[in-house]
Structures are given as C-alpha cells and as structure tokens.
Amino acid sequence: MIKEAALHEKLEKDRIVRCHICPRRCYIKDGARGFCKVRENRGGVLYALNYGQLTAMSADPIEKKPLFHFWPGSHSFSIASISCSFTCPWCQNWNISQVALGEVTPEEASPEKVVGLAKRYGCKTIAYTYNEPVIWFEYVLDTAKLAGKEGILNVLVTNGYATDETLKEFGSHIHAANVDIKAFNPKFYSNYCKAKLEDVLNAAELMVKLGWHLETTYLVIPTLNDNPEEIRRMSQWVRDKLSVDTPLHLSQFFPMHKMAHLPPTPISTIVRAREIALGEGLHYVYVGNIPGHEGENTYCPKCGELIIKRRGFDIMGWNLKEDHACPRCGVKISIKGEYSR
C-alpha cells in the first residue's frame, strides 16, 4: 500500500515537494521519486510507496544486529523493506537495498502483523534492518508505537543518514540503534555513498542526546578505509562525542556485489584496528566476522576480567553480577537490559 509521507514540504512552484527525511532533502517534481526511489510526488503530495512492503522477516539473536550491550542473549524480530539512501558498492544486502519497487516481490505486512509475530516468537525487540530503515520512516514509526504498547522495544540498524526532524519524531519510540560508520573520510562518503560524513556523525550524536542506546560498526575495507590514522580519528570521535562506553564493532570485509575484486580484510588488520581503538580509550571494541577470536568477548575496562564470552552471535559464558558489576573489581559494565539465558 502507499501512504502520504511524513516530513515533506509542499512548494508553490510547479507542485514540487521537498522531502525532509534524510539530509539530502530532495526536491521532487510531480511524477518523480526521490533519491531513495520509494518516495514519490503525486500531484504535489509526497507518498511513501514502500509502506508495509517487506522483503524479510526473521527472529535473530540481538547480537547479530550487532548489539552486544542491549538485552544480551535475547531475540529480535528483524524486518526489511526496499532500497536505501546510500549507494555502497560492497553492500551484502544489495539485492534489496540497491533496487527499486517492481524489481523485487515483497510481502505486504501490517504493523499489527509484525508485532503479533514478534510476540509469537518471544522477541524482546523489533529490528528495522537489512535495508535503510529511515526511508520507510512512516511504517517504522507506526510499528514502533504499536510495539511499545505491547512492551516490545525497537531497534534501528542504520547508516545514520537522518535529519534532526526524523530522529526527533522517532524520539522515545526507538530504544537502540547501531550506526554503520562507512569510513572516517568525507571523500569516501561522497564517492561511494553519495552522502556526507558530517551528517552521519551529527545524527549519531543526536541519538545519544535522545537517550537511545547506541553502538557503532565500522566495516574495514582493504585499501579504502583501513588506514590506521583514519581508524584512530574515528575512535577519537566515538570517545569524545559519544562515550568511552559506546561499543565499537570492527568487521572483516568479504568480497561482495561490485567490490568482488577486493580481497577479504586480513585478520591482522582488524586486530591492529582494535588495538588502536582500545589505545584511544574506548572500553568495548569488538571484532566481527572472526568467530572464536578473543575480540568477540567483553572484558572489564578496569581490571580486564572476562565478563562475557562469545562465539559468533552466541553467548558462551556470563560472568556478571545481577547489577551488571564486574565480579572481581565491582565496576559497573555498560549494559542495558537483562541477560536472556
């Protein structure tokens, strides 16, 4: 179905509308669509064409989002729609994120259906993920409001390309987010994402001010964003603008989509990136896509005690007191929610 879009401005000249969902703030002529391909001007009114059009539904470990410090061990009912506000040529979900309506066959699902399924499968949260959730804002917000009434929390897995207006409208209906920082280089964002790094950083900082639990992910791509000084600057930004307790996930790249010519990220590069981030004072730095590596675990930032042992998305050992305190030194570990054993 379609629904009149939120956060758009009707201009007097030639029935042009301006969308205010993402920082691109597209001017859209009558009969045309915005950059994201799912918001269309019809007679001077902007419509969201992707409302309730889902391409994926599954119950996943919350750690798969990845969120390591938000209701650990629980499950999240994960849903996806169509298209994206970025053009990342390495996207692992390119078959839904880099397409337009009509190029895939979605399933129509109401917010009520999604919330009902989340309850049926015992999920603590609903995750809006796999493609960019900001561009299906109307559906995400309606579903989040309904989920909240049922005691289900809401999670965005996002590129962070959202305006202040969008994030403030989400407000308290969103409880956690993982923001994917593609690089810490403005030219990288311009060349590969057709976006601005500054806008993403500003959005992540606002999420913290709104009280959301925030974690960040950085996919380390050989030759493109793996420069140690870039990793260092990104780590300093997390430390200074978010928090030393904001988890950072450093993920190993594998050849995908239009980046199939690049090699996988060497494990040594990921390990070195983690050392840099820890050296800049971050308390919780994780490695991704390297099952069994010690960097999947949580350690006490004060005494180094092994707090949570993981393998992939599974928790193999839990060594925290009920008040989330380290059993050795008593320092509080920054985790929201209870552990689902």
43 and 122 in one domain? Answer: no
pLDDT in tens, 212-223: 999 999 999 999
Question: Does residue 333 form part of some domain?
Answer: no
pLDDT for position 12: 78
Residues 96 and 13 in one domain: no
Q: Are residues 37 and 168 in the same domain?
A: no
- Residue 267, φ and ψ in degrees, nearest 5: -60, -35
Query: What integer is the mean pLDDT of 111-138?
Result: 98
How confident is the model at residue 254, as a pLDDT? 95
Residues 183 and 197 in one domain: yes
Q: Are residues 240 and 279 in the same domain?
A: yes
97 in the same domain as 30: no
Contact 262, 246 (CB under 8 A): no
Give the DSSP letter of residue 195. Answer: S
Tokens of 286: 């994780």
Residue 336 belongs to a domain: no
Any domain includes 193: yes
Residues 80 and 184 placed together within one structural domain of the fold: yes
Q: 171 near 149, Cβ under 8 Å?
A: no
The confidence score (pLDDT) of residue 239 equals 98
Q: Which domain holds residue 144?
A: 53-318
**Alpha helices (H) in 105-260, listed in sequence order:** 111-120, 137-149, 164-170, 186-188, 197-209, 228-237
Query: Would you tell me the crossing angle of helices 267-279 and 228-237 to the nearest 10 degrees?
Result: 40
140 domain-assigned:
yes
Query: CA neighbours within 13 Å on the CB side: how many for 129?
Result: 26
> What's the rounded mean pLDDT across residues 14-37?
96
Predicted pLDDT of residue 9: 95
**Tell me, what CATH number does 114's domain have?**
3.20.20.70
- How many structural domains are present in the chain? 2
Does residue 216 belong to any structural domain of this protein? yes
CB 253 within 8 A of CB 210: no
Q: Could you read off the pLDDT of 159-186 as tens digits, one per residue?
A: 999 999 999 999 999 999 999 999 999 9
Q: Is residue 220 within 8 Å of 250, Cβ to Cβ? A: yes
The pLDDT tens digits for 55-113 are 999 999 999 999 999 999 999 999 999 999 999 999 999 999 999 888 999 999 999 99
From 315, 314, 334, 311, select the one nearest 324 (Cα to Cα). 334
Q: Kindly state whether residues 175 and 204 are assigned to the same domain.
A: yes
- In terms of domains, do 23 and 136 share one? no
Determine the pLDDT at residue 13.
79
Does a structural domain hold residue 153?
yes
CA 206 to CA 170: how far, in whole Å?
Answer: 12
Identify whether residues 21 and 114 lie together within a single domain: no
Residue 239's nearest CA partner among 269, 208, 203 is 208
- For CA atoms 201, 154, 314, 333, give the dihedral sign: positive
CA atoms of 284 and 181, how far apart (whole Å): 16
Tokens of 124: 């603590």
- Same-domain pairing of 202 and 92: yes
> What single DSSP character describes residue 257?
G
Residues 86 and 100 in one domain: yes
pLDDT digits (tens, 9 = 90+) for 233-286: 999 999 999 999 999 999 999 999 999 999 999 999 999 999 999 999 999 999
Residue in this structure with the two tokens 């506000």, named with its chain if needed: 85
**3-class state of residue 332 by DSSP:** strand
What pLDDT, on a 0 to 100 scale, did the predictor assign at position 58? 97
Other residues' Cβ atoms within 10 Å of the Cβ of residue 103? 12
| Mean pLDDT (the chain, rounded) | 97
What does the pLDDT read at residue 61?
98
Interatomic CA distance for residues 183 and 193, integer angstroms: 10
Cα dihedral value 192, 194, 196, 199, nearest 10 = -120
Distance in angstroms (rounded) separating the CA atoms of residues 147 and 151: 6
Domain annotation covers residue 330: no
| Residue 204: predicted pLDDT | 98
Taken in order 253, 257, 262, 264, the sign of the CA dihedral is positive
**For 274-326, how does the pLDDT look when each residue is reduced to its tens digit (9 = 90+)?**
999 999 999 999 999 999 999 999 999 999 999 999 999 999 999 999 899 99
Residue 131 lies in a domain: yes
Q: What is the mean pLDDT of residues 20-26?
A: 98
